[in-house]
Each structure stands twice: as C-alpha cells, then as structure tokens.
C-alpha cells in the first residue's frame, strides 16, 4: 500500500512511519527540519501551503498524526489526490469533558475540557470537519501516550515519581483516573 503519514520525525508519527515502511511504500509529509527516517519517501512541505504537490501521488491510506485544528484537516484534505481509500485521524481523549465518567468511552459525548483547554476544543473542531471532507475516515482518541521516541517529559515524569516515591499531583482531589497507552 501507499501510505501518507503526516510528520514522521517525532514520537507517534515516527513510530508509525517506521512500523509500516517494511511492507509498504511510506511517504512522510513534513517541513524537513528534523532527521528523516531511512526507507521512507519525504514530501517536503508545510501542510498549510501544499498547493498541488500531493496531486501527483496515489495514497491508499492517510495517517494524519499532526492535525490539531479544523484548518489542519481542511488544508490537508483539500490537497489530497482523488482516490484516497482511508483516512485515519489521531485525535485525543482531551475531547471528552473531565466531568465524564472515566475511563472515557467512545459512546460518551465530547465537549470542552477545562484541563486541556484549547487543545481539546481544537481537536473537536478537527474531528467535526473531517467526515464532510473524507467519508472513509476513522478517528482514534488515545489517552496519554508514552513509549520509545517520546519527545515530551510528561508521562515519564509520573512514572519516575512513582518509582522513587516522590510526590506528584493529579488534578482535582487526586481521585481522577488516568489512562496511559
């Protein structure tokens, strides 16, 4: 398959591009400001200024890891060639209000989350725009992500504190459940 991955140089997008490159033709769309993976095809561009650069390609699947706003989704989907079979948007569990019963489930309503603020509401905007632009779309809403190639010292901080018996704070009264993936 021909797979387009947005990003491809940091954490989740890098891991995904690396995972699929062995049995597929993987194209990464990024500005080429970081080291690129071996074995993938770079499409050097900014997603907000694509013009017709993607029209010459044929993608079976788009894995949009780097969309944070409705504009991010609109700009990419406007630039895609016809014939994309599937589009997978990596959103976030930040789209669920913190007042929802946790752990969150897909059946729960989405809405503003005071802990995540604009990040969550922008992801909601991206999710709402997607179906009208790409009918064969899937939205994944992972919780806190951690693992190899992680670029943010957030989840490792929690684990390091727990392992060394250091105090760390969980929002509200300390009973909030956290999901790690």
Grade residue 169 by pLDDT with cuts at 50, 70 and 90.
Answer: confident
> Which pair of tokens denotes residue 120?
């969550």
Asked whether the beta carbons of 40 and 8 are under 8 A apart, the reply is yes
Task: State what percent of residues in the chain have pLDDT above 70.
Answer: 97
Q: What single-letter DSSP state applies at residue 13?
A: H
The residue ranges of every structural domain in the chain are: 2-163
Note the pLDDT tens digit of each residue in 7-35.
Answer: 999 889 999 999 999 999 999 999 999 99
Q: Where are the beta strands (DSSP E) in the chain?
A: 2-6, 25-30, 41-44, 61-64, 86-90, 137-140
- Is the C-alpha dihedral spanning 36, 40, 41, 47 positive or negative? negative
**pTM (predicted TM-score):** 0.87
Asked whether the beta carbons of 132 and 95 are under 8 A apart, the reply is no
CA-closest candidate to residue 57, choices 70, 71, 41: 41
Three-state DSSP at 23 gives coil
**Bridge partners of 44?**
30
pLDDT of 130 higher than 80: yes
Note the pLDDT tens digit of each residue in 38-53.
Answer: 999 999 999 999 999 9
Angle in degrees, CA 95, 8, 24, rounded to 5: 110
CATH number at 2-163:
3.40.50.720
């Amino acid at each position: 398959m021909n797979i387009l991955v947005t990003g491809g140089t940091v954490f989740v997008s890098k891991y995904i591009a690396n995972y699929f490159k062995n049995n597929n033709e993987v194209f990464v769309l990024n500005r080429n400001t970081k080291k690129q993976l071996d074995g993938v095809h770079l499409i050097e561009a900014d997603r907000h200024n694509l013009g017709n650069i993607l029209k010459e390609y044929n993608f079976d699947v788009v894995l949009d890891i780097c969309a944070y706003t409705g504009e991010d989704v609109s700009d990419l989907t406007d630039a895609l060639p016809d014939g994309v079979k599937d589009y997978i948007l990596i959103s976030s569990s930040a789209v669920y209000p913190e007042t929802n019963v946790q752990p969150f489930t897909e059946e729960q309503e989405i809405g503003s989350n005071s802990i995540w603020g604009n990040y969550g509401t922008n992801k909601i905007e991206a999710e709402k725009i997607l179906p009208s632009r790409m009918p064969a779309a899937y939205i994944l809403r992972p919780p806190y992500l951690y693992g190899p190639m992680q670029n943010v010292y957030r989840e490792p901080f929690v684990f390091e504190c727990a392992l060394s018996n250091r105090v760390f704070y969980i929002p509200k009264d300390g009973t909030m459940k956290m999901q790690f993936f």
